[in-house]
């Protein structure tokens, strides 16, 4: 009796195993998603908004005005809250270099050479300088007014990364010494064929004991991961 039960149990197990193996292609094997096709993309120099300047008028009232960002140190605040504030007029190019470097780590992005882009900008700047009979700094600022979609088409890429910086400064307290980087900017990816904005992120941060460079680097890493995920799902 015991042997019959054992034999019957073995038969049942054998049938179950055969059935499970035959069903494996239906449940166990999933079709792997094909990797995204290669996307050509160019990171353009980020535009930089004018900075706010504080001063006191003849009645000691606080007055605000705007001026283009230049590489310089300013003083803001009063007494123990006074800060040395540092600016870099090349921050638009530096930020673009940082984002370019992070996007190159994504396998399916074919990133346009920043060196070739600088040559492209140099030719455009010289054309503007001669046409408007102006100095190099003014001609360089005029480049920011060029249509980024048109630039992308001229470069022959599918996407362009366009950044707009509102704030990018390093603040150092003049009394106690701690410093912090403050940034506020937007980064948008445009399709050069349709002109549509496909992906956009805004960042605003106040990072203590961090340089402006590292501040941008943190956001660039996050942006690259999110953009990779976005196009991988398309």
What domains sit in the chain, N to C, each tagged with a CATH number?
43-229 (3.40.50)
**Lookup: tokens for 116:** 């070739």
How confident is the prediction for the chain on average, in pLDDT? 85
State the pLDDT at residue 85: 94
Query: d(Cα 56, Cα 90) in Å, to the nearest integer?
Result: 29
**Lookup: tokens for 220:** 């660039």
Q: What is the mean pLDDT of residues 43-69?
A: 84
State the pLDDT at residue 36: 74
Q: What is the mean pLDDT of residues 120-145?
A: 85
Query: d(Cα 181, Cα 94) in Å, to the nearest integer?
Result: 15
> pTM for this structure?
0.80
- Asked if the model's pLDDT at residue 1 lies above 70, the reply is no
Query: d(Cα 116, Cα 129) in Å, to the nearest integer?
Result: 20
Q: Of 61-70, 84-93, 188-197, which gets the smallest average pLDDT? A: 61-70
Task: For 19-45, write each residue's pLDDT tens digit.
Answer: 544 444 444 444 445 557 899 999 999
Query: d(Cα 168, Cα 91) in Å, to the nearest integer?
Result: 8
Task: For 156-165, write each residue's pLDDT tens digit.
Answer: 999 999 999 9
Query: d(Cα 75, Cα 172) in Å, to the nearest integer?
Result: 10
Query: d(Cα 63, Cα 53) in Å, to the nearest integer?
Result: 8
Query: d(Cα 61, Cα 72) in Å, to the nearest integer?
Result: 24
Q: Comparing 165 with 66, which gets the higher pLDDT?
A: 165
Which pairing describes strands 62-67 and 72-76: parallel, antiparallel, or unpaired? unpaired
List C-alpha distances in Å: 136 to 46, 129, 196, 211: 18, 6, 32, 28
- Asked if the model's pLDDT at residue 132 lies above 80, the reply is yes
- Asked if the model's pLDDT at residue 185 lies above 60, the reply is yes
């Amino acid at each position: 009796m015991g042997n019959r039960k054992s034999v019957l149990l073995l038969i049942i197990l054998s049938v179950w195993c055969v059935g499970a193996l035959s069903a494996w292609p239906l449940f166990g094997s999933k079709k792997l998603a094909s990797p995204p096709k290669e996307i050509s993309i160019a990171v353009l120099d980020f535009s930089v908004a004018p900075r706010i300047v504080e001063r006191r008028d003849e009645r000691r009232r606080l007055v605000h005005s705007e001026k283009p960002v230049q590489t310089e140190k300013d003083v803001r605040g009063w007494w123990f809250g006074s800060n040395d504030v540092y600016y870099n007029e090349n921050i638009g190019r530096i930020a673009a270099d940082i984002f370019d470097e992070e996007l190159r780590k994504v396998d399916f992005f074919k990133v346009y050479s920043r060196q070739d882009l600088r040559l492209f900008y140099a030719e455009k700047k010289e054309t503007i300088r001669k046409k408007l009979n102006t100095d190099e700094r003014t001609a360089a600022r005029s480049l920011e007014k060029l249509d980024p979609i048109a630039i992308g088409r001229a470069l022959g890429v599918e996407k362009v990364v366009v950044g707009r910086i509102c704030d990018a400064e390093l603040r150092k307290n003049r009394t106690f010494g701690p410093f912090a980087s403050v940034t506020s900017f937007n980064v948008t990816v445009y399709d050069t064929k349709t002109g549509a904005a496909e992906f956009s992120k805004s960042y605003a941060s106040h990072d203590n004991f961090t340089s402006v460079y590292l501040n941008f680097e943190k956001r660039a890493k996050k942006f690259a991961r999110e953009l990779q995920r976005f196009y991988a799902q398309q």
